Amino acid sequence: MRVAILTSGGDAPGMNATIRAVTRTCIFEGIEVYGISGGYEGLIDAKFEKLVQSSVADIIQRGGTILSTSRSERFMTEEGLEKAINSLKIFEIDALIVLGGDGSLKGANKLRERGVTVIGIPCSIDNDLAYTDFTIGFMTAVETVTEAISHIRDTTEAHGRANVVEVMGRECGDIALYSGVSSGAESIIVPEIETNINEIAEKAIMGKNRGKRHHIIIMAEGCGSAFDFAKDFQDLTGIDTRVTVLGYIQRGGAPSIFDRILASQFGYLAVKEAKEGNSRVLGFKEGRARAMTFEEMFEAKKVFREDLLDILKTVSI
């Protein structure tokens, strides 16, 4: 049996740990495993390389992806899709394991619909896939944001300022929510909940009146301009307000313990599903890794953790 693996779309901490788990599980099971360089672009161009135990030595702690990644416009065309399938046939690949986010897993489904056995593993710092509680890379991104905010708070408090910290996540507010709770932020702004700037301003003024010298507001990037919000907030409160855009620092760095364990579970399970000839997406539900159908992935609806938002509002008074 032959299995191939690729990483697609935005990189996420834990991709390398997943590649390691897939490779070594395949070798343990007596399965040949090939890495595809450059995501779906590499699949179209047949950039295959056989992986052995030493190929994945000392990568569990590394961010990024040793296979490299891309966003492929060619794969979205009929011609590109046919070339990708032909590459799999040439190398006699029995199952393809795809690591990536929403767009990457939709691409995997296109291959599945053409008869390819595909296993999808959710890797995205955004945590925007509804069918799984957590995606690989999300918890690491939250830890990165939390650490950054601890540094920002020091200088913000020294100068008696407020700081609007813009975080990634596209249209999903999970990074803002989880890092807001973990960092002790005063307020968060997320796409899922309507923002009341007067409520945030009142909270900041009340804090200032009792001697508080800082106010941290975490804003998800899908909520508009952090700079416009900061200006309006400063005008309302009279508090000197700065903006920090964390950007791609959130994608890099060594994966957290949680993401390394999650990656190991997913990598192991992916090979087991491939061995059975199943096309599945893997998710994390009720504290364990599970295999689900692609139909279950598309039918799932994202639920925002309003209970965590209530906790943040309560403990940040």
Residue written as tokens 């903006």?
A: 243
State the DSSP code for 248.
G
Q: Which helix (H) or strand (E) holds 49?
A: strand 48-50
222-237 core/surface letters (b: 16 or more CB in 10 A; e: else): bbeebeebbeebbebb
- Decide if 46 contacts 84 (C-beta within 8 A): no
Q: What are phi and psi of 292, to 5 degrees?
A: -130, 165
126 in catalytic set? yes
Q: Which residues pair with 290 in a beta bridge?
A: 283
Report whether 228 contacts 192 (CB < 8 A). Answer: no
Q: Identify whether the C-beta of residue 129 lies closer than 8 Å to the C-beta of residue 105.
A: yes
Q: Which of 29, 39, 45 is nearest to 98 (CA)?
A: 39
Among 102, 126, 128, 259, the active-site one is: 126
What's the Cα-to-Cα distance from 229 to each of 41, 133, 166, 270, rounded to whole Å? 39, 30, 11, 44
Antiparallel, parallel or unpaired: β 162-167 and 241-245 = parallel
Check if the beta carbon of residue 77 is closer than 8 Å to that of residue 89. Answer: no
Please identify every residue annotated as catalytic. 126
